[in-house]
Amino acid sequence: MTAGAAIAGPDGSLRCPWALSAAEYVTYHDQEWGHPVHGDDALYERLSLEAFQSGLSWITILRRRPAFRAAFAGFRISRVAQFTDADRERLLADAGIIRNRAKIDATLANARVLAEWSPGELDALIWSHAPDPVDRPVPKTLSDVPAVTPESTALSKALKRRGLRFVGPTTAYALMQACGLVDDHLADCVARRP
C-alpha cells in the first residue's frame, strides 16, 4: 500500500486516510468535506471555523461545532455583527469553544464587515476563486494535496483587501477544500465526485 493513499474503512469503502482517525471524521468526510457550500452565512461559518482551527486539529473544532454555533448565534452575520462587548466577554469565558481572543475578535470584526456587504457578495467573492477542475490533477496520495495554491493566495488577498481578518492563504485553502471549491478527495476515495 502506498503511504497516504486511500484506505478501507470499517465498511470496506476506500477513504482519505485522515477520515478514519476519529469516528466523527467519517461522517464529516463523506457528507460535508468537499461538497459545495453556498450562502453568505454558511460560508461565514466555515471561514470562522477554519480560522479557529488554525494551529489546532480539525477534530477539536468539529467536536465543538455545536457549541460554536450556539455561542455565535448560528453564525448569522446580521446577528453576530450586533454582538456587544458583553457578548465578547461571554465568548471569552465560554469553555465550549476555543477561547482565543484574537480569533474571537476576528470573527466579530468579520461579521461587522460582512454585514455591510450586499447579500450574496461573500458567496460570489469566494466562488470566483474556484479553480477550473480540468486544470487540477486528481490527488492519489495525501502528499499530492497542497496546503496553499495560487487561488487560495488570491482569495486570501481579496478577503483581506475587503477588511476581513484571520484569512491567510492556508486558511483560505482549507475553506476551499471544505466548501467544495476544490475536490481533494483522493482518486480512490468513495467520496470523490465523478
Helix (H) or strand (E) holding 183: none
Say whether pLDDT at 62 is over 60.
yes
Q: Are 111 and 83 in contact (CB under 8 A)?
A: yes
Q: 139 is written with which cell numbers?
A: 490527488
**Active-site residue, from 18, 24, 28, 127:** 28
Q: Is 28 a catalytic residue?
A: yes
Report, in angstroms and rounded to the nearest whole number, the Rg of the chain calculated over CA atoms. 17
Q: Give yes or no: 44 in active site.
A: no
Catalytic residue, from 25, 50, 151, 173: name it.
50
- Is residue 79 scored above 60 in pLDDT? yes
Mean pLDDT of 12-41: 94
Alpha-carbon torsion, ordered 85, 74, 33, 25, to 10 deg: 90
Other CB atoms within 10 A of residue 36 CB = 11
Grouping H, G, I as helix, E, B as strand and the rest as coil, residue 7 is: strand
- Closest by CA to 181, choosing from 120, 125, 101, 108, is 125
Classify 109 as helix, strand or coil: helix
Please determine, for residue 151, whether its predicted confidence score (pLDDT) is greater than 70. yes
Active-site entry in 25, 33, 44, 58: 58
Average pLDDT, the chain: 95
pLDDT, residue 177, reads 97
pLDDT for 134 equals: 87
State how far the Cα of 123 lies from the Cα of 45, in Å rounded to an integer: 12
- State the pLDDT at residue 4: 80
Neighbours of 81 (CB within 10 A): 17
pLDDT of residue 135: 84
